[in-house]
Amino acid sequence: MTERQQQETYEQSRTIHAGPDEIFSFVSEIRNLPKYLPTTKHAEPQAQDRVRVQGQAHGHTYNADGFLKADKQNYRMEWGADERYYSGYLQIQPQGADACNVTVQIRFSQKPGSGDTQPSDDDINEGLVKALESIENHVTGTGGKEEPQAAS
Domains (range + CATH), the chain: 3-151 (3.30.530.20)
* DSSP-assigned beta bridge partners for residue 102: 14, 92
pLDDT cut 90: percent of the chain above it: 70
pLDDT band at 90 (very low <50, low <70, confident <90, very high): very high
pLDDT band at 3 (very low <50, low <70, confident <90, very high): very low
Strand order in the sheet with 86-94: 8-16, 100-108, 86-94, 76-81, 60-71, 50-57, 40-45
Determine the longest span between alpha carbons in the chain, in angstroms: 47
Averaged pLDDT, 83-96: 92
From CA 16, how far away is CA 146, in angstroms rounded? 15
Averaged pLDDT, 74-90: 93
pLDDT per position as a tens digit, 115-151: 556 788 999 999 999 999 999 999 999 999 998 886 5
Query: pTM (2 decimals)?
Result: 0.89
